[in-house]
């Protein structure tokens, strides 16, 4: 079963490559702009500064040294030939619009004279594009292609594992004939690691099917072998109880034997019911009130023996979509547990709405004891001398209620008794879909 939303390997791999592409692309674009800035600004600034220094040196040696005048750069001194856009510009390096065109301008001053170097940066931009931006763009494109190829190869390498996961998602674990895995298609395209997983899964499912079959055969054979001697024993009791002239101590012994046989039969039905892997759905609802009345009558002798008053209160019809043995086991164990831990008191079982409650005025339990009351083989300290058995009753109740989706709640107080409540959600609705039996 899936827990929440989980991303598949393919999605995670695609996300990883997308992040890589984004980071690499952003880094490359940043590198392109940085290269352009370095070429156009820093290198050009240094070149113009060197040109200005060279001119001033030549001017110091020869007062008539000509101003720089090349295809990409022109020099001006203060005078009538200076473009109006450059008048008043302080010393330094900047980009200006000269005669309507963007130019890089370097202004320097020496001996009261000012030199203006105007540089046409378009040629430098072209050089930056061909020798900086274009190569970086080509590298970026190549990296994209290589990453895409790596992504496709990675997907191809993971495809057997992804296919195995999809095959496992479609496995019907409720199939009556056992779990069937069809992994031959995966095995043909799997690498060594995935093939090992496929072989391990096949071996596991084969052992699981064998274990389920052994459990099914054991449940069938054990149920038959245990029911037969129990039926013989109860039949013999029926014959012995027909003699009305038996002494009272014999009748008490027969009554104890009858209760023991009934307990054994109930325990057998419980174990066989719990042997099912899942809850067993029924087409006809069980009338909980009828089973309550039957179990109360069957345990009346136990209530009388412990001098308890057993009261049944039915406030309405309660139905449960479950097998009769499952409902009977829950009710019988709750009643037997309440009667076993109560002397000279009251035990009440009530049916109201979608709720079944068994309350007693027995020894009760502390909060710590109540927290462990439904553990197997556990008994509260105050009740160990009162009840016989193995301490499985409430544990069986908890397992059955969990198996059928019923809600189990308990409250108790030392010296004031215990109340256990079972709620049957959806008791008035239609039966749930049939499940594996």
DSSP 382: G
**The listed CATH number (3.20.20.150, 3.40.50.620, 3.40.50.10420, 3.30.565.10) that belongs to domain 279-437:** 3.30.565.10
Indicate the domain borders of the chain.
Answer: 9-72+119-147, 171-275, 279-437
Provide the pairing of β-strand 101-110 with 92-98: antiparallel
Distances (CA, A) of 310 to 193, 302, 397: 66, 10, 20
Report yes or no on whether pTM surpasses 0.75: no
Helix axes 288-298, 324-340, angle to 10 degrees: 40
**pLDDT string in tens for the chain (437-residue length):** 444 445 566 667 677 777 877 887 787 777 777 766 666 667 788 888 999 999 999 988 888 889 998 888 889 988 768 888 888 888 888 888 888 888 888 999 988 889 999 988 776 666 666 666 677 778 778 877 887 787 777 766 666 766 676 767 666 666 655 566 766 666 666 667 777 777 777 777 778 778 877 877 777 777 778 888 888 888 888 888 888 888 888 888 888 888 788 778 877 776 776 666 555 666 788 899 999 999 999 888 889 888 999 999 988 889 888 888 889 889 999 999 899 889 999 999 999 889 999 999 999 898 888 988 888 877 776 656 565 656 678 888 998 898 888 999 999 999 899 999 999 886 555 454 444 33
Q: Three-class SS of residue 296?
A: helix
Quote the CA–CA distance of 25 and 13 in Å, as a whole number. 18
Token digits for 356? 């079944």
Please give the span between the terminal C-alpha atoms of the chain, in angstroms, as a whole number.
Answer: 20
Structure token pair of residue 397 = 């109740």
Instruction: Determine contact, residues 428/417, Cβ cutoff 8 Å.
Output: no
């Amino acid at each position: 079963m899936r827990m929440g939303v989980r991303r598949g390997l393919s999605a995670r791999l695609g996300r990883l490559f997308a992040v890589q592409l984004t980071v690499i692309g952003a880094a490359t674009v940043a590198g392109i702009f940085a290269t352009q800035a370095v070429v156009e600004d820093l290198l050009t600034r240094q070149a113009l500064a060197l040109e200005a220094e060279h001119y001033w040196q030549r001017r110091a040696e020869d007062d008539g040294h000509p101003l720089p005048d090349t295809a990409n750069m022109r020099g001006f001194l203060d005078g009538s030939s200076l473009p109006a856009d450059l008048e008043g510009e302080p010393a330094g390096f900047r980009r200006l619009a000269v005669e309507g065109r963007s130019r890089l301008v370097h202004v320097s001053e020496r001996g009261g004279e000012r030199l203006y170097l105007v540089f046409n940066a378009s040629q430098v931009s072209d050089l930056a594009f061909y020798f900086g931006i274009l190569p970086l763009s080509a590298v970026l494109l190549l990296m994209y292609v290589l990453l895409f190829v790596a992504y496709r190869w990675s997907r191809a390498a993971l495809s057997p594992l992804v296919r195995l996961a999809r095959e496992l998602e479609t496995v019907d674990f409720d199939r009556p004939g056992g779990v069937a895995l069809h992994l031959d298609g995966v095995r043909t395209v799997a690498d060594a690691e995935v093939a090992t997983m496929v072989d391990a899964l096949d071996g596991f499912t084969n052992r699981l099917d064998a274990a389920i079959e052994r459990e099914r055969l054991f449940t069938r054979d054990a149920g038959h072998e245990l029911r037969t001697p129990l039926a013989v024993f109860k039949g013999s009791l029926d014959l012995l109880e027909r003699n009305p002239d038996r002494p009272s101590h014999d009748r008490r012994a027969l009554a104890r034997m009858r209760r023991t046989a009934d307990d054994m039969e109930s325990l057998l039905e419980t174990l066989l019911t719990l042997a099912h892997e899942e809850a067993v759905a029924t087409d006809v609802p069980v009338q909980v009130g009828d089973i309550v009345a039957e179990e109360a009558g069957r345990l009346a002798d136990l209530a009388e023996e412990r001098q308890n008053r057993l009261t049944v209160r039915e406030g309405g019809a309660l139905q449960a979509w479950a097998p009769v043995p499952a409902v009977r086991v829950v009710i019988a164990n709750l009643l037997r547990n309440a009667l076993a831990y109560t002397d000279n008191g009251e035990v009440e079982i009530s049916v109201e709405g979608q709720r079944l409650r068994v309350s007693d005025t027995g020894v009760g339990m502390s909060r710590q004891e109540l927290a462990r009351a439904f553990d197997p083989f556990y008994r509260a300290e105050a009740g160990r001398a009162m009840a016989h058995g193995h301490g499985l009753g409430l544990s069986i109740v908890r397992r059955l209620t969990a198996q059928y989706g019923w809600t189990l709640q308990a409250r108790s107080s030392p010296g004031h008794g215990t109340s256990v409540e079972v709620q049957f959600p959806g008791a008035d609705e239609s039966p749930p879909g049939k499940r594996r039996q």
